[in-house]
Structure formats: C-alpha cells, structure tokens
C-alpha cells in the first residue's frame, strides 16, 4: 500500500472511532416526571365558639330580722248545751200542749254583732229535746229532705218566722221552735220561741246566756 493510501485508511479509522465515542457519550434521554395525583384535602377542624360565661346575679338580700307572723284568727267555742238544757226544761212544762205533738226545731240564726257558727247551737237544742215526754221531733233527715225540696242547704237557716212556719207545714209539724243567737259575739244570748204552726201564736219564749269555753 502506498503512503497516501495508508494515511487515508488511518484517517478513516480515526473518523469512525470518533463517531462511536460521540454516540457513547450522549446522555440518556430524561423521562418527564409524571404528575403526582393530588391527595384529597382534609377539611380544617370545626372550631366551636366558646360560650361566654354569664356572671351570676346576686340574689335578693334578705333582711336578718324575722318578719312578725300574723296571729291566727281566734276560734270561739261556746257552751251551747249549758244554755239549751235549762231552756228546753222550761219549754216542756208549758201548759196546753198535747203529749206526742210534732215539733220542728229550726236552725238557730246568728243575730250577734260578729261571726258565729250556730250549727252547734241547733244540735244542742235537738240533743236537749231527745227523750222528752211531750214532743215528737222532726228528724234532721226529714228536715234536710224538706229543705232540699225548697232549694235550701241542710244547714240553711230560714231567717224569718214566716219561712220557718212554712217549712214546718211542709214536714207536718204542729209546733216550731224558732231561735236566735243575739247580743255580743263574745258573750251571746240564746233566745227561743215556741210557736203553734196553725195560728202562728207564740206559746212560750225564753232566753239564756251562752258562755265561751
């Protein structure tokens, strides 16, 4: 081989080798980073507002001194039996009354200057007349029925002699004992009148002082 051909061969070999080196030194292609999937966002924690503290209001200031208590109303108790017994004893001695006559005891009326419960007074008169030999009493049950028929309560006092006479006729009584509590309420007087129902005539009358118990 000629000298010129040798130089051309060497140059070709060098050129070939330089191309291989160039290809070997090229950097590998960089892969693009894939986008990271977005993570679900956690909602921020809910904040509960604090409830403001209301300052406690001071209670009413109590007065150290005790309030005086009102005295309870005084309840009066009377000895109605002490007044009714002697009245009835005198009444049954009245002349001209046939034994076994029917007698109605009207409820005692309050004619005093104060408040008096006269139910016990009426009961005392009925009790004093029990077992007497002259009168047959209209029972409280018969009297209550008759008053109910007239639209009155069992303890209602008729208040007048004429009304008492009308009730006595309703129950078939021949006599009526009409009574009032009169005078001062602290020391009343029990006043009674025995009347003939047919004519309204007053056969007997009497009164007695009533003491407080």
pLDDT in tens, 75-86: 789 999 999 999
Burial class (CB in 10 A: 0-12, 13-18, 19+), 92: middle
What does the pLDDT read at residue 161?
A: 85
What does the pLDDT read at residue 21?
A: 43
Residue 44 CA to residue 192 CA, distance in Å, equals 99
Residue 101 CA to residue 194 CA, distance in Å, equals 12
Q: Which residue has the tokens 């005539």?
A: 201
Question: What proportions of the chain, in percent to the nearest 5, are helix, strand and coil?
Answer: 30, 20, 50
To the question of domain 80-209 being in CATH 3.40.640.10, the answer is: no
Average pLDDT estimate for 33-50: 55
pLDDT above 70: residue 176: yes
Percent of the chain with pLDDT strictly greater than 70: 62
Percent of the chain with pLDDT strictly greater than 90: 47
Q: Which structure tokens are listed for 198?
A: 């047919």
pLDDT above 70: residue 91: yes
Burial class (CB in 10 A: 0-12, 13-18, 19+), 106: buried
Question: For the chain, what is the mean pLDDT?
Answer: 79
Domain boundaries, the chain: 80-209
Average pLDDT estimate for 57-65: 54
What does the pLDDT read at residue 10?
A: 57
What does the pLDDT read at residue 103?
A: 97
- Return the minimum-mean-pLDDT range out of 20-34, 79-93, 112-126: 20-34
DSSP string computed for 5-50: HHHHHHHHHHHHHHHHHHHHHSPPPPPPPPPPPPPPPPPPPPPPPP
pLDDT above 50: residue 7: yes
What does the pLDDT read at residue 179?
A: 96
Q: Which residue has the tokens 């009347």?
A: 195
Average pLDDT estimate for 148-164: 73
């Amino acid at each position: 081989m000629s000298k010129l051909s040798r130089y051309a061969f060497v140059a070709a070999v060098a050129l070939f080798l330089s191309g291989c080196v160039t290809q070997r030194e090229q950097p590998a292609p960089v892969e693009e980073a894939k986008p990271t999937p977005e993570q679900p966002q956690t909602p921020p924690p809910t904040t509960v507002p604090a409830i403001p503290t209301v300052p406690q209001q001071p209670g009413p200031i109590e007065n150290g001194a005790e309030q005086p208590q009102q005295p309870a109303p005084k309840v009066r108790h009377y000895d109605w039996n002490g007044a009714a017994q002697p009245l009835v004893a005198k009444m049954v001695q009245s002349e001209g009354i046939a034994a076994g006559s029917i007698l109605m005891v009207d409820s005692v009326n309050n004619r005093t200057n104060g408040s008096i419960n006269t139910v016990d007074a009426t009961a005392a008169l009925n009790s004093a007349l029990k077992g007497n030999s002259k009168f047959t009493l209209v029972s409280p049950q018969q009297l209550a029925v008759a008053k109910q028929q007239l639209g009155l309560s069992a303890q209602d006092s008729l208040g007048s002699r004429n009304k008492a006479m009308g009730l006595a006729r309703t129950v078939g009584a021949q006599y009526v004992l009409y009574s009032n509590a009169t005078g001062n309420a602290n020391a009343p007087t029990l006043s009674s009148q025995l009347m003939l129902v047919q004519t309204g005539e007053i056969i007997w009358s009497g009164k007695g002082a009533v003491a407080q118990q």
